[in-house]
Structure 1
């Protein structure tokens, strides 16, 4: 029997005891914008309560344009000319190498371009023509992720933290977890029903508000729909990654993992203190359970006890992938097939943590890796809600990139805060619930593997340092007013800080989405350039030689060149993915690796000391990821209207402190230059 706790709440039933309609009315829920009367149909055969509340409550919105309307006509990701890729590669090597090293690398590059590289490039084009449905990088890039044997936590999985709900009372863990979960399922339903607004970049933002324009686009045949948008300077983006957002997991296998999806599954996975719980959150026709029943299920889970599982299986997802694959086989052989299936096929994983966030550093650790036992890092994404209602996402990276996850987060945050499914004033209580607690059969070998995984995990996370930086002197509006690219200025500050810290330019990676193309993934922007090197030397080594106007010109040159590199990368005209695909093709043949790829300079430029990615979004508080090399920094940054923020990870705490000090100093120097002030030359 479903009951609502609140003043004047009443419950009654009509119909047979086996199957009937349930009517619930409560003055308390009217404040949430709910209808005065709701009806429920209970089937004791399926332990199901299905609501007939307004169908619009099951979706985040109803798009005029079908979700995948532009997918058939999206342009294909171009394969750059080999000569152009080699030129770009050498330009990126220029600031990193001495004269002798550069000449040797140039010789190897020319030999590659005129020899085996030419054959590989021709073969790559032939393969691309045979696979018209996808892009040349999709397969190799996915294989790169799935073939890596490194643990995915810290090495691959990023995190993004949501801002708190503007209404503080809605940040109660139970209330916020319920609202975010309902909004996430509404997003899922919109996606599955093909009524989720397509991802479109509008040059003229007014088009995004025009129903007439959208109706016109929706009427175009799918095979020309992209071109219709293009002529109006609206650029549809690839949405193929969304297929793995829900009901998906990465499954460990020996040597190469697999992606698993079962879109028919209707259950949610909830983790609490290392225990696993599942319950159907959708009815057989895809409608969402009533929010107060979802809340009741979560109450049931939260009240199940505070004791951490003796052998939390979540630790296994932090292991080396081959090790985890072997233990998973043991789990299956021990009779845990059904439980493992329920984990893998769940719509997503909701992690309810018991602790309260202390500060932003603690928050980053929580979202990046947590305490291990209350995570299943293999899920496509996990929604994490702490004891104080702070929320974030940790996502597995092989299936997709930040652009899809950011879209999801923005929609869920907006829907959950503007149209909350439950309020703090009313609490639903179920006399009985259909929550299932998963139990596992574990022998001594499995228990030992969990213990070892925990020891490795604890040792690794204690090496990781995370520190934030907030720079309040200027932000996006100020930089645009100064005719500077905000992204270029922050990237330049990182280059100047690195030059101050290391005494030289270091390999740097900035992720750039190529979602403008069918099955595009990412391309690399290389912010370490001859322009940033000259600017770094002027600010660090030769600052007495330059006045504010001269330094301003150097910054301006860096900004213009960085925007040029951004444009090239977004148009699929970088060099990293092209050269990567050629190497992948050479390796797939089983022959010797071309000497070009064995060059120490090639290996060094791919040893990215600075790995950077922007996370700017109105819904995001902060985000981050682990460094990609042991002696490097992982830099997630946000560019706000009036300030800049970043979250930096490293395995070198002292170096991180020094780098942060240098980064803040570089930004302050830039501000002085923008204001026309001479720099302190002490």
Structure 2
């Protein structure tokens, strides 16, 4: 009997070893550890990217005046602005431009806009939520059985880690814009592109209408956070950290998701750890520290230094260094689009850490999305991450409805971060909760979903879908106010090394001509109106092309103004002109991130009396999420005017 028992024990032990080995080999495999293995290395093109050009001063000033034409209706006022511009070209502007070119030639490792743009973000003292942090929300997954908070969060976390590991291993597919979407599927293209040295490879892509994009921002997706300091914040990163931060009910938790070799832990382990957080019976934290990240940056910086004095250095370091922030909310927001946008854009602030580069948010009913800090990067990097983790988590989920959490993982594997507070800090937190509630209550969110106008009808009429969206905004504003206003559309300059964004000015002489003709009934012939829409599209497309190629005017003028201040020079008259101030007081701030995986997006107005307009256009419909402040602008009225504008545009485009 003893021999038989010994053999049975040996067999059980061997089975356990085999099971553990199988588990190790599966989770250590390349198929689990990485999204994919790109034949072309991630950063293959990075050193070959062209530098962001500094436009000629004369062209910048010419484009600036053209943007001012529809905004300055009085001839005498325009002549004054024109005189300021001409004087600028021959005097201080010329000196500043030459100094900018000289400085740019000494810093060929980067772009002329990179440092000033970072400074602009990091020096601004306004709170991050609503003012700066945008939100993106995923569409629902295709399989309802996977749409639970636990499964969704676990699969999204693992996909995020697979993305991160692929990026750091230099095997994530490079970001390349293909004019012909079939080009990357051609074996010969990939074979040649990966074989040639970077510069020749870049030229080969260029000759094939493929444009590699800057990927220098991608590194700050992970282990990165913005830290408040007096007058100017800083971005910190610690790539050694192997844990993620999890927030629930205003509490902080951390646990490792990578082993000592930097490999992703087994999916059952990660599932068990997230389940432990969801099962934690702690009630909502009455003094949630995360609310402080909603504050004015100087106020938050002062409070953070008080927290350090109270012995919270380790806790803050663990928060800052985490790979990313996973936010688990108890809210259910399906079937309420306004609540959905509000939740991901700002929430109540109690279960957020807005300083973190990426916060991956998962609601009780498994709606997912991201809220991201904007200083370190732009939409191109975040959208790539956003898209890839959605596709990976839905097409190759690593945990399933029948997956059992690892029994070896106990609550001890999850660390609840304690925070030391005194009466002063407690009062600061309570005051901040009240202040943030007031801010969020003053924000109005309105949604427009409009059928009929989409990419198909635009293609049929040979016009740009984006130009039609922007024309609707101009027409709606004119209907309400009878004039035209400063309009901002973000355009990426990622085709260049360390490119950020350029401003595209969609309010043009052409859009003014159409809106005047149509709304004032100066023109009623549909054929003539359609021709005017086509003219708007031509101008819009040209401006977009110029902006994408670094030939806009806003960033150039911004850099010259920044340089004048840095050199201690008197402010040139062009920047003291009321027309310049009004142009940069962007009442209509607009942005789109087109993707089949985006359900909605949102960002706040950039000025108190403005609108924040996140929009998208599909094949047969369009959508707009409009943010405005109550008492400043009436968002519902703008949406009504916008709906009417699109109805009228649709009527024109539908005529044979």
The question of a shared fold, defined as TM-score above 0.5 by the shorter chain, is answered with yes
For the aligned pair, the TM-score class normalised by the smaller chain equals: over 0.9
| Counterparts of residues 522-671 of structure 1 (less than 5 Å) | 522-543=501-522, 545-652=523-630, 655-671=634-650
Counterpart of 1:318 in structure 2 is 294
Deviates more, 1:476-485 or 1:50-59: 50-59
Structure 1 residue 349 displacement after superposition: 0.2
CA distance in 2, matches of 1:409, 1:165: 14
1:464-488 deviations in Å (ceiling 9; x for gaps): 1111111111211121111110000
Higher relative helix content: 2
The whole-number CA distance in structure 2 between the counterparts of 1:52 and 1:94 is 61
Tell me if structure 2 keeps the 8 A contact 1:13–1:23. Answer: no
1:309-388 to 2 correspondences below 5 Å = 309-358=285-334, 359-388=336-365
Structure 1 position 539, deviation (Å): 1.8
- Give the alignment partner of residue 22 of structure 2, picking from 23, 27, 38: 38
> Aligned equivalents of 1:495 and 1:381: distance in 2?
33
Contact 2:453 2:646 in 1 (8 A): no
Q: Does 1:270 align with 2:270?
A: no
Instruction: Report the equivalent of 2:393.
Output: 416
> Match of 2:442, SS?
coil
* Partner residue, 1:203: 179
- Equivalent position of 1:497 in the other structure: 476
Shift of 1:223: 3.7
Residue 446 (structure 1) aligns with? 425
| Equivalent pair of 2:44/2:198 in contact (CA under 8 Å) | yes
Q: CA shift at 1:455, angstroms?
A: 1.3
Inter-CA distance 369–202: structure 2 relative to 1 (3 Å threshold): same
Q: Distance in 2 between matches of 1:464 and 1:79?
A: 38
By how many angstroms is 1:591 displaced? 2.9
Show the counterpart of 1:63.
38
Matched, 1:472 2:447: no
* Other-structure match for 1:8: none
For the 8 Å contact 1:615–1:622, the answer to whether it is kept is no
- Asked whether the 8 Å contact 1:13–1:22 carries over to 2, the reply is no
Q: Does 1:95 pair with 2:73?
A: no
1:27 aligned partner? none
Q: Any conservation in 2 of the 1:159–1:367 contact (CA below 8 Å)?
A: yes
Aligned to 2:57: 82
Shift of 1:305: 2.0
C-alpha distance in 2 between matches for 1:458 and 1:318? 10
User: How many residue pairs align between the two structures?
Assistant: 641
Q: 1:485-512: per-residue Cα shift (whole Å, max 9, x none)?
A: 0000110011101111111001000000
Please state how far the C-alpha of 1:447 moved relative to its aligned partner: 1.3
Closer/same/farther in 2, CA of residues 409 and 546 from structure 1, 3 Å limit = same
- Helix, strand or coil for the counterpart of 1:422? coil
Shift of the 424–659 alpha-carbon distance from structure 1 to 2, 3 Å rule, reads same
- Post-superposition offset of 1:308: 1.1
1:347 partner SS: coil
Say if 1:21 and 1:39, in contact at 8 Å, map to a contact too.
no
CA distances 1:188-227 after superposition (whole Å, capped 9, x unpaired) = 0000000000001112222211233212211111243311
Helix, strand or coil at the partner of 1:268: strand
Alpha-carbon deviations, 1:356-406, whole Å to 9, x = none?
005010000100011101000000010000000000100000000011111
1:192 aligns with 2:171: no
Q: Does the residue aligned with 1:539 lie in a helix, a strand or coil?
A: helix
Unpaired runs of 5+ in structure 2? 1-10
Question: 1:23, CA displacement in angstroms?
Answer: 2.1
Contact 1:235–1:516 (Cα < 8 Å) also in 2: yes
1:400 aligned residue: 377
Match of 2:219?
A: 243
Counterpart CA distance in 1 for 2:17 and 2:313 is 36
Partners of 1:638 and 1:95 in 2: CA distance: 26
Structure 1 residue 170 and structure 2 residue 170: aligned? no
Instruction: Name the residue aligned to 2:366.
Output: 389
Q: 1:22 to 1:438 in 2, by over 3 A?
A: farther
Measured at CA, do residues 383 and 52 of structure 1 come closer, stay the same or move farther in structure 2, by a change above 3 Å? closer
> Separation in 2 of the partners of 1:81 and 1:254?
37
- Looking at structure 1, the residues matched to 593 and 181 of structure 2 have their Cα atoms a distance apart, in angstroms, of 21
SS in 1 for 2:634: helix
- Cα distance in 2 between the residues matched to 1:662 and 1:531: 20
- TM, length-normalised to structure 1: 0.92
Distance 2:618 2:112 in 1: 35
Q: Is the 8 A contact 1:38 1:53 kept in 2?
A: no
1:5 is matched with none
Q: Is the 8 A contact 1:381 1:393 kept in 2?
A: yes
Q: Which moved more, 1:424-433 or 1:664-673?
A: 424-433
- 1:278-299 Cα deviation digits (max 9, x unpaired): 0010112221111111010011
Over residues 234-289 of structure 1, what are the superposed CA-to-partner deviations in whole Å (9 max), with x where a residue is unaligned?
A: 11000011011111000001100001011111101000000000001011222111
Deviation at 1:553, TM superposition (A): 1.0
State the alpha-carbon separation in 2 of the partners of residues 558 and 582 from structure 1.
Answer: 30
**Structure 1 residue 13: Cα displacement:** 7.6
Is 1:130 the counterpart of 2:109? The answer is: no
Q: State the distance in 2 between where 1:223 and 1:85 align.
A: 29
Cα deviation for residue 306 of structure 1 reads 5.2
- Taking the aligned partners of 1:392 and 1:74, their CA distance within structure 2 comes to 31
* C-alpha distance in structure 2 between counterparts of 1:87 and 1:163, whole Å: 43
Assess if the C-alpha contact under 8 Å between 1:254 and 1:322 holds in 2. Answer: yes
Q: Residues 108-127 of structure 1 correspond to what in structure 2 (within 5 A)? A: 108-127=84-103
After TM superposition, give the deviation of residue 624 of structure 1 in Å: 1.0
Change (3 A) 1:223 1:473: closer
Q: 1:13 to 1:112 in 2, by over 3 A?
A: farther
- SS state of the match for residue 462, structure 1? helix
Contact 1:631/1:652 (<8 A) preserved:
no
Q: TM-score, normalised by structure 2?
A: 0.95
The CA distance in 2 between the partners of 1:232 and 1:534, in whole Å, is: 38
1:426 aligns with 2:403: yes
